[in-house]
């Protein structure tokens, strides 16, 4: 309040970015007001990372039952009790939500519940109250986008928010968009028994990933019976009482119970006063410099709201960076080249650093090395197909690591050390990986790249 004097930091939005800023700033002794209109934790906790990964874990259990015969264990899947699946998912979210609320309270952060609007370079209005700070952080996040002319009715044409609230497994679904979110829902619904068709305008699934990773995922999904229309343009959708008919530009029609629109997410900034206060934006995204400052010196922006990768761990890192820099600690800049990315489908796709195409653009010449998980003992025990692909500068460091296979999301943190520390292939080849683990495949790929392959050609 103006009566109480300004706080050090007013944060608009309590998602991954906003709450991470608040937690770190409070730890450093700054006074913080954190404004949230909905629930502390934002998209990631309530409608993103956590509930989708809970569904994927339940889906993995269903897959294990389906595939149990391959291991000599005889069991049959009697059905999916989706109400129970949802209550498990919701209980995970609630537990983390309680933990987060507790943290925010114990650090002395003032949580202001309500819809905030920026009204000056140093203040946010929430209802009748004006909260003033020496610095303002915009962290209002993102929401699902659609295509021009494609209307989401939240019933038959749905977003990921709606998909997480479904009280049934759809008999069939069309998933429009094959990024992480589209592929994860396709994977879950297929595991739960749905007929799933993915439509993607670009030529590959997970089109931002290394092409060899995309192709492995395409093959794995085909084997699982997930249909794919790649390089296919959506033309329109008709809804009837029975479901949806999706038409592609080449005339193909696909019938299904529902259509999930997963074509990306756009910024939440409309009507929030940003432009009025003079903040530079681009199609609603708030523009920032490498210090995360907007063109208005007292205002910063972080997370999905600024152009760039939309990932929870990036929001966390930006929040920590910003809090430390506002507290005068001069933190090292965030290295956006080395952010791990994981699609948690069955199988998973994980990567860090540059694709071979991006590396070729930057360095001219690159070498790549692929190690097939067929040579990895643990992968054979788990019966998972996949590969590790390394991208390196000739006679230089490894600049990209790309992995496909079950559970490989857990491997990418080691790969991150390799790319961040600009390790040479021979240096990583020196490291002894435990046998038999999936992590060995990272060691083996580097042995091969260093010219001394062990379990590969």
| Residues annotated as part of the active site | 435
Binds ligand FAD (CB under 6 A): choice among 186, 286, 311, 408: 311
CB of 235 to ligand FAD, least distance (A): 25
Is residue 42 at the binding interface for ligand FAD, with CB under 6 A as the rule? yes
x/- string (CB under 6 A) for ligand FAD, residues 249-288?
-------------------x---x----------------
Q: Which of 348, 42, 48, 45 is nearest to 183 (CA)?
A: 348
Contact between 318 and 334 (Cβ < 8 Å)? yes
Closest CB to ligand FAD among 132 and 376? 132
| CA–centroid distance for 110 within its chain | 28
Closest CB to ligand FAD among 184 and 444? 184
Is residue 37 at the binding interface for ligand FAD, with CB under 6 A as the rule? yes
**Of residues 96-115, which lie at the interface with ligand FAD (CB under 6 A)?**
115
How many residues at the interface with ligand FAD, by CB under 6 A? 36
Closest CB to ligand FAD among 390 and 412? 412
Binds ligand FAD (CB under 6 A): choice among 11, 30, 138, 181: 181
Closest CB to ligand FAD among 38 and 414? 38
β-strands 265-267, 244-248 pairing: unpaired
Choose the binding region for ligand FAD from 12-20, 89-97, 233-241, 288-296 (rule: CB under 6 A): 12-20
**Of residues 48-77, which lie at the interface with ligand FAD (CB under 6 A)?**
48-49, 52
Binds ligand FAD (CB under 6 A): choice among 35, 392, 399, 428: 35
Distance separating alpha carbons of residues 325 and 333, to the nearest angstrom: 10
Is residue 139 at the binding interface for ligand FAD, with CB under 6 A as the rule? yes
Contact between 405 and 384 (Cβ < 8 Å)? yes
Choose the binding region for ligand FAD from 43-51, 193-201, 370-378, 394-402 (rule: CB under 6 A): 43-51
**For residue 383, is it left (φ>0), alpha (ψ between -120 and 50) or beta?**
left
Distances (CA, A) of 210 to 188, 216, 269, 283, 391: 23, 10, 32, 28, 10
Closest CB to ligand FAD among 347 and 443? 347
Binds ligand FAD (CB under 6 A): choice among 7, 10, 11, 15: 15
- Going through 79-155 in order, the beta strands assigned E by DSSP cover 110-113, 116-120, 123-126, 129-138, 142-144
Closest CB to ligand FAD among 311 and 391? 311
The residue assigned the tokens 């192709």 is: 215
Distance separating alpha carbons of residues 402 and 37, to the nearest angstrom: 38
The structure tokens listed for 335 are: 């290295």
DSSP secondary structure string for all residues of 278-305: T--EETTEEP--TTSB-SSTTEEE-GGG
β-strands 227-230, 234-239 pairing: unpaired
First to last CA, the chain: 68
Choose the binding region for ligand FAD from 45-53, 98-106, 234-242, 353-361 (rule: CB under 6 A): 45-53
Beta bridge partners of 367: 392
CB of 124 to ligand FAD, least distance (A): 8
Phi, psi of 385, rounded to the nearest 5 degrees? -95, 155
**Of residues 328-357, which lie at the interface with ligand FAD (CB under 6 A)?**
none
Contact between 381 and 392 (Cβ < 8 Å)? no
| CA–centroid distance for 439 within its chain | 22
Choose the binding region for ligand FAD from 36-44, 54-62, 234-242, 433-441 (rule: CB under 6 A): 36-44
Is residue 206 at the binding interface for ligand FAD, with CB under 6 A as the rule? no
Phi, psi of 175, rounded to the nearest 5 degrees? -110, 115
Binding stretches for ligand FAD (CB under 6 A):
12-18, 35-38, 42-44, 47-49, 52, 115-116, 139-142, 160, 181, 268, 272, 303-305, 310-313, 315
């Amino acid at each position: 309040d103006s009566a109480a004097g300004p706080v050090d930091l007013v944060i608009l939005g309590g998602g991954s970015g906003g709450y991470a800023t608040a937690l770190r700033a409070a730890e450093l002794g700054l006074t913080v007001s954190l404004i949230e209109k909905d629930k502390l934790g934002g998209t990631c906790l309530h409608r993103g990372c956590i509930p989708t990964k809970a569904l994927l874990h339940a889906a993995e259990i269903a897959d294990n039952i389906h595939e149990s015969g391959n291991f000599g264990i005889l069991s049959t899947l009697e059905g999916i009790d989706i109400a129970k699946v949802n209550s498990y998912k919701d209980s995970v979210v609630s537990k983390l939500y309680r933990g987060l609320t507790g943290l925010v309270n114990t650090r002395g952060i003032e949580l202001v519940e309500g819809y905030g609007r920026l009204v000056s370079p140093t203040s946010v209005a929430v209802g009748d109250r004006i909260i003033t700070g020496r610095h303002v952080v915009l962290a209002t996040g993102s929401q699902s986008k659609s295509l021009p002319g494609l209307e989401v009715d939240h019933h038959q044409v749905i977003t990921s928010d709606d998909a997480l609230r479904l009280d049934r497994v759809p008999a069939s679904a069309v998933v429009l968009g094959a990024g992480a979110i589209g592929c994860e829902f396709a994977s879950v619904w297929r595991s739960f028994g749905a007929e799933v068709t993915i439509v993607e305008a670009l030529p590959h699934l997970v089109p931002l990933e290394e092409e060899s990773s995309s192709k492995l995922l395409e093959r794995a999904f085909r084997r699982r019976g997930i249909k794919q229309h790649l390089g296919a343009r959506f033309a329109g959708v008709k809804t009837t009482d029975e479901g949806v008919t999706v038409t592609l530009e080449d005339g193909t029609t696909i019938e299904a119970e529902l259509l999930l629109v997963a074509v990306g997410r756009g910024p939440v900034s409309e009507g929030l006063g940003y432009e009025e206060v003079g903040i530079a934006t681009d199609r609603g995204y708030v523009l920032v410099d490498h210090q995360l400052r907007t063109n208005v010196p007292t205002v910063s922006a972080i997370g999905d709201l600024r152009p760039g990768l939309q990932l929870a761990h990036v929001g966390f890192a930006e929040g920590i960076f910003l809090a430390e820099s506002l507290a005068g600690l001069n933190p090292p800049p965030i290295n956006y080249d080395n952010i791990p990315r994981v699609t948690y489908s069955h199988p998973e796709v994980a990567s860090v650093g540059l694709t071979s195409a991006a590396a070729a653009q930057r360095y001219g010449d690159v070498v790549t090395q692929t190690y097939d998980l067929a040579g990895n003992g643990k992968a054979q025990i788990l019966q998972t197909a996949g590969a590790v692909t390394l991208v390196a500068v000739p006679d230089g460091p490894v600049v990209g690591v790309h992995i496909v296979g079950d559970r490989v999301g857990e491997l990418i943190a080691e790969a991150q050390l390799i790319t961040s520390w600009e390790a040479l292939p021979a240096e990583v080849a020196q490291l002894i990986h435990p046998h038999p683990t999936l992590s060995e495949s990272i060691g083996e790929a580097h042995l091969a790249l260093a010219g001394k392959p062990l379990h590969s050609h």
